Amino acid sequence: MIKADKYFLDNLQEIYNNGVTDTHGKVRPAYKSDGAPAHTKYITFVNESYDLSKNEFPISTLRPLAKKMAIGEILAFYQDQTNDIEVMKSKYNLHWWKDWDVGNNKIGIRYGETVRRYDLLNQLLETLNNDMFSRRKILNLWQEQDFIDDPKGLKPCFYMTNWEVRVIDGDVYLDLHLTSRSSDYSVAGNINRFQYVALQMMIAKHFGFKLGKFSVFTSNLHYYLRHEDQVKELLSRKPSDKQPILKLNVPDGTNFYDIRIDDFELVNFDCDYPQLSFDLGI
């Protein structure tokens, strides 16, 4: 069994068997279908670690993967640096953000707008270019001022990345650690990990670095209680024995802002299972 599927099944089983619920108090999310409180079952402080240089990609084979939309979201946030739902929909076919419209076809000062507001991506590129051994290569979407200026927006779930480089036999390897306060694991866990590997690949290509480690820390790993039937279905599925590999087919040194969705290729992804339907908590 590949590492991504083992993590996915083990973590999902751990939530199912030993997770606790938040049914003892008030919760913010509500189900899209009827507005009822969207309670969860969860575990805390979960770590996952992969070595991309050994083709350990965090891509589970237990669900179909919306590859283009996942990468499109990364491009919207880090290339276009936008919070405009219409741009995300027309340019990348992203429809899921419409449920978080704060009233002006925007998602608030969040994600892409935060990247633009604080010039986060360009600062990261500049640091990697001029001081790559700095231990301050942090891209942080959790900016309290944004929440004060625009309190209606959904606060970022996967909110911080730490970047490191290692030089081995003259080759520079780029490592990424991703931090999440909250992960709706059965719905979006596979997408979130996949798309941040795509971001890591884009930055590695920009500099001609090799891919190194990818790790994820999640503070609250959960599924919504109405999704328990889907969780049981996922736990019953047999994973593929093939390791999916994501490739970025552009030359080393390609500018980060010139990379497009179609430059990515997903190979060895073998999933014959149907997509699942979820009553979303929003």
Predicted local distance difference test score (pLDDT) of residue 142: 98
What residues contact 24, with CB distance under 8 A and at least 6 apart?
Answer: none
* Own/partner pairs, 260-269, CB within 8 angstroms, 24+ separation: 260/75, 261/68, 261/71, 261/72, 261/75, 261/92, 264/67, 264/71, 264/198, 264/201, 266/59, 266/65, 266/67, 268/242, 268/243, 268/244, 269/59, 269/61, 269/65, 269/242, 269/244
When divided into structural domains, the chain yields a total of: 1
Q: How far apart are CA 103 and CA 148, in angstroms?
A: 17
Task: Find out whether 84 and 94 touch, Cβ atoms under 8 Å.
Answer: no
How many CA within 13 A on the CB side of residue 213?
A: 14
Q: Quick check: is 238 in a domain? A: no
Pairing label, strands 210-224, 171-184: parallel
Predicted local distance difference test score (pLDDT) of residue 216: 98
Q: What is the CATH number of the domain that holds 142?
A: 3.30.572.10
Q: Quick check: is 70 in a domain? A: yes
Q: Quick check: is 60 in a domain? A: yes
Predicted local distance difference test score (pLDDT) of residue 143: 98
Q: Quick check: is 167 in a domain? A: yes
Predicted local distance difference test score (pLDDT) of residue 120: 98
Catalytic residues: 157
Looking at residue 97, the DSSP 8-state letter turns out to be G
φ and ψ at residue 115, rounded to 5 degrees: -55, -45
Chunk the chain into consecutive blocks of 10 residues (it has 282) and report each block's average pLDDT, rounded to whole numbers: 98 98 96 97 98 98 97 98 98 95 95 98 98 98 97 96 98 98 96 98 98 98 98 98 98 98 98 95 94
- Whether this model's pTM surpasses 0.95: yes
Task: Find out whether 137 and 164 touch, Cβ atoms under 8 Å.
Answer: yes
Looking at residue 220, the DSSP 8-state letter turns out to be E
Q: Quick check: is 229 in a domain? A: no
Report CA torsion sign: 5, 222, 224, 105.
negative
Q: Quick check: is 278 in a domain? A: no
What residues contact 163, with CB distance under 8 A and at least 6 apart?
Answer: 124, 128, 137, 138, 139, 174, 175, 176, 177, 203
Domain ranges, residue 124: 45-218+243-267
Q: Quick check: is 200 in a domain? A: yes
Q: Quick check: is 170 in a domain? A: yes
> Helix H segments across 162-282?
185-207, 228-236
